[in-house]
Amino acid sequence: MPAKTYVQTTINGEAVDFLCEPRQSLLECLRDVIGLTGSKEGCNDGNCGACTVVLDGRIVTSCLVLGVEVEGRDITTIEGIAVGSTLHPVQQAYLENAALQCGICTPGFIVASKALLDQNPNPTEHEIRFWLANNLCRCTGYDKIVRAVMDAANKMQEAAV
C-alpha cells in the first residue's frame, strides 16, 4: 500500500493536520480521520448537501472534495458555527421554527443558510430557495426551513441596528 499523504489545514479556526489516502473525500477525512461527525453523508455524489462545509469562503459538498486538496486551505464545518455554547442565530431560528425533523440534513442546511446570510443579509424567499437548492430535506417540505432563514435574517438585522 502506497504511503498516506500528510495534510495541514485550518478547520474552524484551528490548525489541524491529518494523514489520508488520496482517494478519501474531505467528508471521510472529517468524519473518520479527524472525528468531526457533524457533517453527514447522504448521497455521496453532491446532490443532497448534507455534507456542506465552507471551503475558503465558498460552500461546497465535502463529499466532492478530496482530503488531499485542502492542504493550506480554510474550512468551516457545522461544529464551527456556534460560539461556545451560544447558538448562531441561524441555529436558534431553525429550533424556534421547527425547521428540522429527523435532522440528518440540518448541519448542511445550517452551514449553507449562514453562508447565504453572510453575503446577502436580507434575501428574498426566491433567493433563499435557489441558494438552498443543493440541500435536500425529505421531512419538512422546506417551508419551515425557508421561514427559519427569513426569521434569522430579520433577527440578525435587528441585532445589527
Partner 1 sequence: MKWIDYEAPKSLGDALTLLSQHGDRARPIAGGTDILVQLRAGARSPDLLVDVKGIPELNEISYSPSSGLTLGSAVECYKVYGNSDISNAYPGLIDSASIIGGTQIQGRASIGGNLCNAAPSGDSIPALIALGATAQIASSGGTREVPVEEFCTAPGRTVVQPGELVVSIHLPAPVPNSGARYIRFIPRNEMDIAVVGAGVSVVLDNGNIKSARVALASVAPTPLFVKEAGDALAGKPATDESIRVASQLASDAATPITDMRGTIEFRKHLCEVLTRRALHTAIERAKESG
Q: Which stretch binds partner 1 (CB under 8 A): 30-38, 63-71, 74-82, 85-93?
A: 63-71
Residue with cell 464545518: 77
Closer residue to partner 1, CB minimum distance, 51 or 98: 51
d(CA 98, CA 96): 6
Residue 152 class from Cβ within 10 Å (0-12 exposed, 13-18 middle, 19+ buried)? buried
Alpha carbon of 51 to those of 77, 90, 125: distances in Å?
A: 9, 17, 23
In this chain, which of 52, 76, 77, 106 binds partner 1, going by CB under 8 A?
52
Residue 59 near partner 1 by CB under 8 A: yes
Residue 160 near partner 1 by CB under 8 A: no
Q: Which stretch binds partner 1 (CB under 8 A): 20-28, 76-84, 87-95, 138-146?
A: 20-28
Radius of gyration (C-alpha) of the chain in whole angstroms: 16
Residue 44 near partner 1 by CB under 8 A: yes
Chain positions contacting partner 1, by CB under 8 A? 1-2, 5, 21-23, 25, 44-47, 49, 52, 55, 58-61, 63-66, 68-69, 112, 129-135
